[in-house]
Chain A
Amino acid sequence: AQRVTQPEKLLSVFKGAPVELKCNYSYSGSPELFWYVQYSRQRLQLLLRHISRESIKGFTADLNKGETSFHLKKPFAQEEDSAMYYCALITSGSRLTFGEGTQLTVNP
């Protein structure tokens, strides 16, 4: 069965500090992985997906199949990055499965 785990429910950093949000998954095939973000009072939206290998708002994420991880990183956190972040996985058969979420707070 597919599963996504985000071990940190809460993460707090200071502005300008590096930030890493952890995501691990379990799936025997080749998954598609995503990071979604929910800013306060806004709906969930896609932040980035592993297949596009892009950097959005300074965030990057690398798929590590050996460690079954897809950690989200940003070298210098900004206050506007404060939000709830969800790692998600989709497989053939199409169940979009989310992790538990990590609430990131960037302090001034």
Chain B
Amino acid sequence: NAGVTQTPKFRVLKTGQSMTLLCAQDMNHEYMYWYRQDPGMGLRLIHYSVGEGTTAKGEVPDGYNVSRLKKQNFLLGLESAAPSQTSVYFCASQKGGDGTEAFFGQGTRLTVV
């Protein structure tokens, strides 16, 4: 049982390049989230999805896009990377919008130079 898997684990981008981060979960969860973790700022929600085909903006959505074409996958895209997007990105999934546990991926460390 893999749980939540993020791809890739590390990446270095040049300013202006694009990339997609993939999050895959095998628990048949409805809810999926993308967060970024920065020192002193905790986990900030970028985008989230409450089901296949749906997405919604979080606290810091600018510069990112997402898609949830399949229930098990939640993709985070950076169209034109900026140094301010250097961060550790975490994906999470949750069975439903209630008090159930959220499961996290191992994180993706992205550096934009």
Contact = CB atoms under 8 A, between A and B. Distances in A.
Nearest to B97: A94
A95 B45 contact: yes
Nearest to A49: B99
By size class, the interface of chain B is 20 to 34
A45 B39 CA distance: 19
Interface string B86-113: 0000101010111101101111000000
Interface string A75-108: 0000000000010101011111111110000000
A11 interface: no
A37 to B, nearest CB: 11
A24 interface: no
Interface residues of A, number: 24
Interface string B16-58: 0000000000000001010100001111110010100000001
B42 A46 contact: no
A96 B104 contact: no
Nearest to A9: B40
Given A51-B99, A96-B92, A86 B104 contact: no
Interface of B: 31, 33, 35, 40-45, 48, 50, 58-59, 90, 92, 94, 96-99, 101-102, 104-107
8 smallest beta-carbon distances between A and B, as pairs: A94-B97, A100-B42, A98-B43, A32-B99, A44-B104, A101-B42, A46-B101, A43-B104
